[in-house]
């Protein structure tokens, strides 16, 4: 019997869903509201601060996990919702959704590694 | 056969027929915004790698009133995601047995929401500590 690849996508979906459920709103508040409104000092959310955070091993892993898992979570959900909206595009939708998540994962990993340690 | 036109009930707007389905679709729709936020962060990381000027432009873009308004909406949508995620958790995870009795769904939801509140508070406190 051919093994299904669904468990892999489901685990990524679940991990991203859990991470975004635990921290999503707080993350949006910090990066999208508090930082641009200068509620945080410039050195924290400015170039130097963010670069230092992304050069730290744990910081790098955190940023990578957020970007990649959020995308795998969203891609999986959108892919399965297309069917509910009456769009039965099959492999095209699957390739587009998971392809976006995979491409963003590779791009995020490459960029974060390029920043150095 | 081709001439027979059997009545087929339209499925258009099926999810608007029942509040349960509306909640389902609202929960699924949060995925679009989770993706949008991840792409905003990815753009930030890429701009960061291009140097100080590029990153400054990204930050400036975030300070745009439309961006602030979008992020306020995002914040509410993520909060809804948190609430719905833990609300369906009793159905998506294997049964938890504590002391020979099955843990009720409401307890799992409450524990999840408490965990989210603690994790979010800890994250904001960590950022405040970084800033101090």
Tens-digit pLDDT profile for residues A71-90: 999 999 999 998 888 888 77
What φ, ψ does residue B98 adopt, rounded to 5°?
-120, 120
Q: Which CATH architecture has domain A7-114?
A: Up-down Bundle (1.20)
Please indicate whether, in this complex, the C-beta atoms of A63 and B74 are within 8 angstroms of each other: no
Please indicate whether, in this complex, the C-beta atoms of A47 and B120 are within 8 angstroms of each other: no
Burial of B94 (0-12, 13-18, 19+ CB in 10 A): exposed
Residue A57, both tokens: 């091993």
pLDDT over 80 at B1, yes or no? no
Q: Which residues contact B24 (CB under 8 A, 6 or more apart)?
A: B15
Question: What confidence category does residue B98 fall into, taking pLDDT thresholds of 50, 70 and 90?
Answer: confident
ipTM for the predicted complex comes to 0.93
pLDDT over 80 at A98, yes or no? yes
Please indicate whether, in this complex, the C-beta atoms of A78 and B31 are within 8 angstroms of each other: yes
Q: Find the largest Cα–Cα distance for chain B.
A: 76
Domain positions in chain A are 7-114
Nearest CA in chain B to A106: B42
Domains for chain B: give ranges and CATH numbers: 15-131 (1.20.1300.10)
Q: What is the pLDDT of residues B23-37, one digit of tens each?
A: 999 999 999 999 999
Residues of A in contact with B59 (CB under 8 A): 35-36, 45-46
* Rounded percentage of chain B residues whose pLDDT exceeds 90: 67
Quick check: B32 contacting A, CB < 8 Å? yes
Task: List B97's β-bridge partners, or say none.
Answer: B102
């Amino acid at each position: 019997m051919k093994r299904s690849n669904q468990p892999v996508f489901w685990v990524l979906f679940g991990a991203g869903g859990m991470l975004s459920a635990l921290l999503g709103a707080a993350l949006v508040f910090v990066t999208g509201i508090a930082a641009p409104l200068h509620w945080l000092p410039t050195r924290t959310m400015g170039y130097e601060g963010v670069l230092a955070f992304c050069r730290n091993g744990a910081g790098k892993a955190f940023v990578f996990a957020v970007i990649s898992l959020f995308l795998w979570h969203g891609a999986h959900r959108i892919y399965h919702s297309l069917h509910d909206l009456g769009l039965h595009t099959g492999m095209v939708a699957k390739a587009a959704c998971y392809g976006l998540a995979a491409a963003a994962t590779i791009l995020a990993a490459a960029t974060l590694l390029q920043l150095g340690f | 056969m081709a001439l027979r036109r059997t009545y087929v009930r339209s499925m258009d707007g099926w999810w608007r027929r029942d509040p349960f389905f509306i909640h389902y679709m609202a929960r699924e729709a949060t995925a679009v915004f989770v993706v949008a936020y991840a792409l905003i962060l990815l753009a930030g990381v890429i701009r960061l790698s291009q140097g100080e000027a590029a990153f400054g432009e990204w930050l400036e873009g975030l300070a745009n009133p439309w961006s602030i308004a979008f992020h306020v909406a995002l914040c509410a949508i993520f909060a809804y995601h948190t609430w719905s995620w833990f609300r369906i958790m009793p159905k998506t995870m294997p049964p938890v047995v504590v002391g020979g009795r099955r843990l009720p769904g409401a307890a799992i939801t409450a524990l999840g929401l408490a965990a989210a509140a603690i994790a979010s508070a800890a994250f904001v406190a960590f950022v405040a500590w970084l800033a101090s």
